[in-house]
Amino acid sequence: MEVIDFHSHILPSLDDGSKDIDMSLEMLRRSKEHGITTIVATPHFYADSNTINHFLKKRKHALEKIENRLDFSAPAIVAGAEVCFFSGIGHADGIDKLCIGRTKLILLEMPFRAWSEKDLYEIERLLNGGITPIIAHMERFYPFQKDKQLIPALLDMPVLIQLNAECLLHWKQRRQAIKLFKSGQAHLLGSDCHNLTDRPQNLLEGRKVLEKKIGQQCLNQIDQLGVSLLREDI
C-alpha cells in the first residue's frame, strides 16, 4: 500500500523548510525509513510577496536540484504548494496552477485569526470553480475561532481536512484529532516536516497512534483515499 505524506517542506531554499539540498536529501532518506512511498512537496505560497509564475519557476528549479543529486531510491515527489489564504483567492487568476500534481486539489492554509462568513465564501468560490481545498493542519485553527459555528460549517463543505502527525503526539490535541478521524471529518495526514531537528519527519509516529487508538482500518482508509486522489501521480 502507498503511504503518502500530504504536507511537507522538503524542497531546498524555498521557504522556512529545508535550507539546502543536503538537508532535503536527508529528509527524503528519513521519509523512506518511515515507510513513506510518496511525499507531496508543499512550499509556502504567499500572494502578497510572490507571483504564481515566479513561484512555479523556483519550485521547478528546486525539484531539479533534488533530481540531479538523488543517488538512492527515494519516495516519489509530487509538486504542490501550501497556499496561504488571501482575499479574492476564490477567483484569483491562475490559482489552479498551484494545485497538487495533476489534480484539482489545493493545500490551503486558513488565516490564523477568527474566520468570517466571507472567508468561507471564498472557499465556496474555489469549489464552484472546480478546485477542492485540502485544509492544512486544521487542528491549529481552533483556538482562534470565536464563532463556534464556522468550524462545523467548514467541515460540512465538500473539502478535505488534513491534520499534522504532531497533533497525535501531544495529549492536549490528541483527543480532538482522534475524534475527527473517527467521525470521518479528518481525511489525510501530513508530517509538515520542515527540517531535521525541531520539525522533523514524524508521520510514522502519528500513524502508530492512529493504529493504536482507532485501528489499522483507519490507516487503510487514509492510504486508499490518498491513492485515489493522486492516482495519476503515483
Q: Which amino acid is at 112?
A: F
Report the pLDDT value the prediction gives residue 109, as an integer from 0 to 100. Answer: 98
Using CA atoms, how far apart are residues 65 and 129, in angstroms rounded to an integer? 33
Confidence at 232, pLDDT banded by 50, 70, 90: confident
Q: What is the percent of the chain with per-residue pLDDT over 70, rounded to a whole number?
A: 100
What integer best gives the mean pLDDT of the chain?
Answer: 97
β-strand pairing of 105-109 with 82-84: parallel
Q: 159-189 pLDDT, tens per residue?
A: 999 999 999 999 888 999 999 999 999 999 9
Identify the architecture of domain 4-233 in CATH: Alpha-Beta Barrel (3.20)
Q: What is the pLDDT of residue 68?
A: 95
118-161 per-position pLDDT tens digit: 999 999 999 999 999 999 999 999 999 989 899 999 999 999 99
Residue 134: count of CB within 10 angstroms of its CB: 26
For residue 109, list its beta bridge partners.
84
Secondary structure of the chain in HEC code, one letter for each residue: CCCEEEEECCCCCCCCCCCCHHHHHHHHHHHHHCCCCEEEECCEECCCCCCHHHHHHHHHHHHHHHHHHCCCCCCEEEECCEEECCCCHHHCCCHHHHCCCCCCEEEEECCCCCCCHHHHHHHHHHHHCCCEEEECCHHHCHHHCCCCCHHHHHHCCCCEEEEEHHHHCCHHHHHHHHHHHHHCCCCEEECCECCCCCCCCCHHHHHHHHHHHCCHHHHHHHHHHHHHHCHHHC
Q: How many CB atoms lie within 10 A of CB 93?
A: 8
State the Cα–Cα distance between residues 114 and 62, nearest whole angstrom: 34
Indicate the domain borders of the chain: 4-233
Whether the per-residue pLDDT at 234 is higher than 80: the answer is: no
**Residue 214: per-residue pLDDT:** 97
pLDDT value at residue 58:
98
Strand partners, 4: 38
> Distance (Å, rounded) from C-alpha 166 to C-alpha 181?
14
- For the segment 209-219, the average pLDDT, to the nearest whole number, is 97
Question: pLDDT confidence of 12, banded at 50, 70, 90?
Answer: very high
Q: Which residue has the cell 487503510?
A: 220
Band (212; pLDDT cuts 50, 70, 90):
very high
pLDDT in tens, 55-81: 999 999 999 999 999 989 999 999 999
